[in-house]
Amino acid sequence: MKANILINKKAGKNFVIFWSAYKGKPRVCRILLSKNSRLFPDSVISSCPRIDKLVEQITAFLDGRKIKFGLDTIQLDLCPDFQKKVLLQAAKITFGTTCTYQAIADRLGKPKAWRAVGSALAGNPFPIIIPCHRIVRSDGSFGDYQGGKRMKEFLLKREAGRLHKIFPKKEE
């Protein structure tokens, strides 16, 4: 699969989107919260209206606007099954709220898998769209983030996230 790349460098909001056509539509394969595109020298720098709209949404989100991202622009099928389940749970965490790794493990019916949840989120190929920055440790500390701890703290403070405001328990 030949990847296309779009590098956003607007007003310090640096990120790279790797995308390709999938089933006839542009789909995001990976988002990097970095400006280093030299890691992928064979990629083609390009865009299309759907990817341009996503860039606008991510930039608006980083500017502090409340944006609800759809999952129709990302290729979740590139993720292993467990990671996909974790990412789908993380996608349910709404703007301004937080959740713990343990709560996601519980929601998946695997209460001892909180570390596996953390590992799945550490490899989240779609940061911002799948808001893994909203997941914190059970003790309330932030934990790690691929954009860096300072970025995670910035995003959580901007969203005014509160620990223990967790999405509803699993329906019986």
Catalytic residues: 132
For strand 25-32 and strand 135-136, is the pairing parallel, antiparallel, or unpaired? unpaired
What b-and-e string marks burial along 59-90, b requiring 16 or more CB atoms within 10 Å of the CB?
Answer: bebbeeeebebeeebbbbebbeeebebbbebb
Residue with tokens 């890691």: 39
DSSP bridge partners of 16: 7, 32
Other beta carbons within 10 angstroms of residue 105's beta carbon come to 20
Both tokens assigned to 115: 């570390």
Phi, psi of 84 (to 5 degrees): -60, -45
